[in-house]
Amino acid sequence: MALARMVLPRTQRLVRAIARIDIAVSFLVLILALGVALSRPASAMNIQKVKSPGGIEAWLVEEHSVPLIAMRFAFRGGSSQDPDGKAGVANFLSAMLDEGAGELDSRAFQERQEELAMRMSYSDARDAFYGTFETLTENRAESVKLLRLALTKPRFDEDAVERIKKQLLANLVYAAKSPEKVAAKEWYASAFPGHPYGRSGTGTTESVAKIAGADLREFAHKNFARSNLKISVVGDIDAATLGAMLDEIFGDLPAKAQLSDVPQTKPVSGGMEKVIEMAVPQSVAVFGLGSLARKDPDFMPAFVLNHILGGGGFASQLMEEVREKRGLAYSVYSYLQPEDHAAIMLGSVATKNESIAQSLTVIRDVLKRMATDGPTEQELDNAKKYLIGSYALRFDTSGKIASQLLGLQMEDFDTDYVEKRNGLIEAVTLTDVKKVAARLLDPKDLIVTVVGQPANMKADGRSVVQGGG
User: pLDDT of 69-125, one tens digit each?
Assistant: 999 999 999 999 999 999 999 999 999 999 999 999 999 999 999 999 999 999 999
Residue 154 and residue 252 in contact, taking contact as beta carbons nearer than 8 Å: no
Terminal-to-terminal C-alpha distance of the chain: 82
**Closest listed residue to residue 367, CA positions, set 338, 347, 344, 387:** 347
The Cα 305–Cα 317 span in angstroms is 10
β pairing state of 343-352 and 331-338? antiparallel
Fold of 15-250: Cytochrome Bc1 Complex; Chain A, domain 1 (3.30.830)
- 15-250 and 272-452 share one CATH topology? yes
CA dist 189 and 271 (Å) reads: 13
pLDDT above 90 (res 259):
yes
Share of the chain above pLDDT 90, in %: 87
pLDDT of 456 reads 82
- Please say if the pLDDT value at position 44 is more than 60: yes
Q: Which position has the higher pLDDT, 469 or 68?
A: 68
**Sequence-separated contacts (24+) of 104-107 with Cβ below 8 Å:** 104/149, 104/155, 105/155, 105/157, 105/160, 106/155, 106/157, 106/159, 106/160
Name the nearest CA neighbour of 304 among 316, 321, 293, 314. 316
Q: Percent helix, strand and coil across the chain, each rounded to 5? A: 50, 20, 30
Is a pLDDT exceeding 90 seen at residue 227?
yes
Pairing of the two strands 68-76 and 343-352: unpaired
DSSP of 83-112: PTT-TTHHHHHHTTTTS-BTTB-HHHHHHH
> Which of the residue ranges 233-237, 372-376, 386-390, 464-468 would you say has the lowest mean pLDDT?
464-468
Report the distance separating Cα 104 and Cα 85, nearest Å: 31
Please enumerate, as own/partner, the contacts of 415-424 that have beta carbons within 8 Å and a separation of 24 or more. 415/47, 415/49, 415/59, 418/42, 418/43, 418/45, 418/47, 419/42, 419/43, 421/391, 422/388, 422/391, 424/300
Exposure of 288 by Cβ count < 10 A (0-12 exposed, 13-18 middle, 19+ buried)? Answer: buried
For residue 11, what is the DSSP state?
Answer: H
> Which whole number is the average pLDDT over 142-159?
98
Can you tell me the distance from the alpha carbon of 275 to that of 457, in angstroms, rounded to the nearest whole number? 7
**According to the model, what pLDDT value does residue 4 have?**
35
- Give pLDDT, residue 34: 53
Contact 398, 31 (CB under 8 A): yes
Which residues on adjacent β-strands are paired with residue 129?
75, 124
- Concatenated DSSP letters for 283-326? EEEEEEEE---TTSTTHHHHHHHHIIIIISGGGSHHIIIIIITT
pTM: 0.88
β-strand 229-235 against 68-76: which pairing, if any? antiparallel
DSSP state of 127: S
| Residue 436 contacts residue 367 (beta carbons within 8 Å) | no
Mean pLDDT of 220-238: 98
- For residue 293, which phi and psi values (nearest 5 degrees)? -65, 155
**Could you read off the pLDDT of 21-36 as tens digits, one per residue?**
444 444 544 554 455 4
- Each residue of 90-104: b (16+ CB within 10 Å) or e? bbbbbbbbbbbbbeb
Q: Look at residue 238 in the predicted model and tell me its pLDDT.
A: 98
> What is the C-alpha separation between 189 and 447, in angstroms, rounded?
11
At residue 297, φ and ψ (nearest 5 deg) are: -60, -25
Decide: helix, strand or coil at residue 250: helix
Beta bridge pairs of residue 135 = 69
CATH architecture of 272-452: 2-Layer Sandwich (3.30)
In this structure, which amino acid lies at residue 157?
D
> Is residue 69 a contact partner of residue 140, using CB atoms and an 8 Å limit?
yes
For residue range 384-441, list pLDDT tens digits in order.
999 999 999 999 999 999 999 999 999 999 999 999 999 999 999 999 999 999 999 9
List pLDDT tens digits, range 307-335. 999 999 999 999 999 999 999 999 999 99
The C-alpha atoms of residue 426 and residue 228 are separated, in whole angstroms, by 33
For the chain, the domains span 15-250, 272-452
pLDDT at 16: 45
Q: Write down the mean pLDDT value for the chain.
A: 91
